Structure 1
């Protein structure tokens, strides 16, 4: 018989190895075959963790339902021309210089990534690195809030081809 996951649950407030557990807190989980003898311990009970349940914040909890099957949201992509059009040439040059200076200092990965995005054929606006990069550019004073908003905007209709 295969082992099954069980939770050892405190039946009253207690301290074990310096950790305080309240009534109904999960002390630990164990794999148990259900046949061999197993003692949960004083003031503890053994409870099967049913499918669809897990331990969250020290308590047994039902997992949230899976999202309904369907189509995923499309990835928001802008083409390189749109990326460059959203920043003035002087801004692109300032980002280029800042990226090179930061790379020389050993700390330019994000700025270099954003510089490369301006040259890439397409930029995935949903890529977390792009969002962090836009925030880094804004934080470094290389772009304004309006420019950051423009960079985050979905593609224009003439880009969708």
Structure 2
């Protein structure tokens, strides 16, 4: 049986771990780096989904647009992941209530496999198309390559 080749962590990830240790922040645990990173990735992904839904960045709506739908704050939600436990997140809302998030769907509380999605893409050097395909495979969610690109940036 062949041994799997282990992916090397990115220099950015190694630097985050080093800084966390310097500041006395645990990597796991209730307020650890992994939980904060998971929260940041989920909220960034949700905000990028909202940008895609509305067709413009926050506070950047063109004056001649046809739709009057705009961002309308956020709502708090707590999701449960295997590696990080309960993660409080802020989910964006739109004024017309037509936003249907895909990464964390409405009424969804348990995120199976999100830890793998959050931690692995850049470490494994996946393309935006491959990350999009993994979201579809694990969540059944359609997330465009453009949204993935904005999230990873």
Fold in common (TM above 0.5): no
TM range (shorter): under 0.3
Q: Which has the higher contact order (CA 8 A, sep 6+)?
A: 2
TM-score by length of 2: 0.23
Q: Which structure shows the bigger proportion of residues in strand conformation?
A: 1
Greater helix percent: which structure? 2
Q: Tell which structure's C-alpha radius of gyration is larger.
A: 1
